[in-house]
Amino acid sequence: MSNCAIVGINWGDEGKGRMVDLLTEHYDVVVRYQGGGNAGHTVINEHGTFALHLLPSGIFRNGVVNILGNGVALDPENLWTEIQSVMDQGVSITPENLKISDRASLLLPWHRDLDELEENRLRNKKFGSTKQGIAPFYSDKYQKKTILAGELFYPDEFKKHLLDLMEWKNLTLTNVYHAPAYTMNMLDQWIIEFCDKIKPFICDTGAFLKDAQREGKNILFEAQLGSLRDLDYGIFPYTTSSNTIAAYAPIGSGLPSANISDVVGVVKAYSTCVGEGPFVCELFGDEAEALRKAGFEYGAKTGRPRRVGPIDLVATRYGVEVQAATEIALTKLDVLSYMERIPVCTQYLLGGEPTDRFPFPAALDHAKPIIEYMPGWNCDISSIRNWNDLPTEAKDYVTFIEKAIDCPISYVSVGPERDSIIIRK
């Protein structure tokens, strides 16, 4: 049996979905352990192109059981819409290959409203939320003001619980934000349209995972976003509201006894960042536009142009540490093929001194990138499948990163398709 977590090392959008889609070949179970529908994993395979938000990326493999663990923000409306859209593209989704933890908390309709109302209140001080209700959801979860998915099996208690929460939340909606109140009629509609639809998928996934562990099955833990967005270890307050790091996988998946032997950290060959917050190595102007276009860096959920920059070795080294990554998948190397010379952020300048250490979040605004340049390879590498066939400059770029972050790069991805990969082990 082997357990593996696939996690983002940087700000998210590193290409985790494409790595999970590739590696599920070796796994029996894929579990999402945190986050909600606020980001997207793009997967391209024989079924087509998919932007997954909540569904685990193992959903395309026959025989793989996909689980949404207790740590996710379970939005019945988003999930049901996503299930239907993926099924419309010919993928079978049944209670056999998708199981939802009965201990996952439900993201309630007002969470999305509150996200939007608060971002509007903040105006130009906003955080760049995707307005999917994630922050209000997690704060309510920790206040014990959400409902567990399994409560749907106890309809009378469920309704009463929901009514209590609605009365409580209406106080904030109407008195603080002067927004309309919810009524039970509105919530009845939400139950019928979405909750009842996902109910057949809800079960005791903790028991399922424990059995799978006992039977020696291989389990893959799939993260959303990256180290720098982790609530405790990221660039707070520009983080997400959950723990994105691999150490949280046993808790958020429903298998607290999981021993994760392999942590595959996904690193993009350059940097991107969505939303607000410090981004030390950010490029601007034509240089940024060229990289954004080459990498098609527009958000999978929002379509927003992503902020771009050279690979940031200071942030990446920190990301590798907090993820306790055992190996690295370096993605999108092909995107850099157009560059004559490739910028690399090797250190930060902070208080006039160069530093290798990722600073405390509030100090990031004062950090400046120290940039070195490496020679480009200036040819198309997207059809290369063997390490030795890569141009020397490309190999040098990869090994330079590997040395700087002190973690073996086992996979080099040269295209979005499942087989556009160079395996180095």
CB of 339 to ligand GDP, least distance (A): 14
Nearest to 148 by CA among 96, 204, 193, 186: 204
Binding mask 280-309 for ligand GDP (x = CB under 6 A): --------------------x---------
Task: Kindly indicate which of the ranges 328-336, 361-369, 372-380, 401-409 contains the residues binding ligand GDP, using the contact rule CB under 6 A.
Answer: 328-336
**For ligand GDP, which is the closer residue by CB, 47 or 366?**
47
Q: Which stretch binds ligand GDP (CB under 6 A): 130-138, 314-322, 330-338, 363-371?
A: 330-338
Shortest distance, CB of residue 185 to ligand GDP, whole angstroms?
Answer: 37
Closest CA to 31 of 12, 60, 52, 57: 57
Residue closer to ligand GDP, measured from CB, 193 or 289: 289
Residue among 64, 264, 332, 394 that touches ligand GDP (CB under 6 A): 332
Residue 413 CB coordination number (10 Å):
24
The beta-strand segments (E) located in 81-142 are 98-101, 105-106
Give the nearest distance from C-beta 69 to ligand GDP in angstroms.
Answer: 18
Residue 13 known to be catalytic: yes
Q: Which is nearer to ligand GDP, 42 or 326 (CB)?
A: 42
Pick the catalytic residue from 13, 102, 230, 334: 13
CB atoms within 10 A of CB 356: 12
Pair 332, 15: CB distance under 8 Å: yes
| Binding-site size, ligand GDP (CB under 6 A) | 23
Q: Are 378 and 337 in contact (CB under 8 A)?
A: yes
Please report how close the Cβ of residue 23 comes to ligand GDP at its closest, in angstroms: 13
| Neighbouring residues of 399: CB distance < 8 A, sequence distance ≥ 6 | 409
Q: Which stretch binds ligand GDP (CB under 6 A): 15-23, 254-262, 348-356, 402-410?
A: 15-23
Determine if 16 is a binding residue for ligand GDP (CB under 6 A): yes
Q: Which amino acid is at 314?
A: V
Concerning whether 211 is annotated as a catalytic residue, the answer is: no
Q: Which of 21, 82, 115, 334 binds ligand GDP (CB under 6 A)?
A: 334
- Binding of residue 240 to ligand GDP (CB under 6 A): no
Q: Which residue lies nearer to ligand GDP by CB, 12 or 69?
A: 12
| Min separation Cβ 16 and ligand GDP, Å | 4
Query: 39 vs 202, which CB is nearer to ligand GDP?
Result: 39
Residue 384's contacts (CB-CB under 8 Å, 6 or more residues apart) are 390, 414, 422
Which string of x and - marks every residue 20-49 that binds ligand GDP (by CB under 6 A)?
-------------------xxxx-x-----
Dihedral sign computed on CA atoms, order 331, 333, 338, 342: positive
Q: Which is nearer to ligand GDP, 289 or 356 (CB)?
A: 289
For ligand GDP, the binding residue among 3, 34, 239, 413 (CB under 6 A) is 413
Helix (H) or strand (E) holding 295: helix 285-295
Long-range contacts of 42-49 (CB under 8 A, 24+ apart): 42/17, 42/18, 42/300, 42/416, 43/17, 43/18, 44/18, 44/416, 44/417, 44/418, 45/21, 45/417, 45/418, 46/418, 47/89, 47/90, 47/91, 48/89, 48/90
DSSP structural state of residue 21: H
CA separation for the pair 179, 115 (Å, rounded): 12
Distance CA 115, CA 239 (A): 15
Is 415 a binder of ligand GDP (CB under 6 A)? yes
- Catalytic residue, chosen from 21, 28, 41, 140, is 41
Please select the residue that binds ligand GDP; options are 4, 5, 8, 264, rule is CB under 6 A.
8
Give min distance, CB of 159 to ligand GDP, in A.
36
> Number of helices and strands (H, E) in the chain?
12, 20
Please state, in angstroms and rounded to a whole number, the distance separating the CA atoms of residues 240 and 138. 10
By annotation, the residues acting in catalysis are: 13, 41
Residues at the contact surface with ligand GDP, assessed by CB under 6 A:
8, 12-18, 39-42, 44, 300, 331-332, 334-335, 413-416, 420
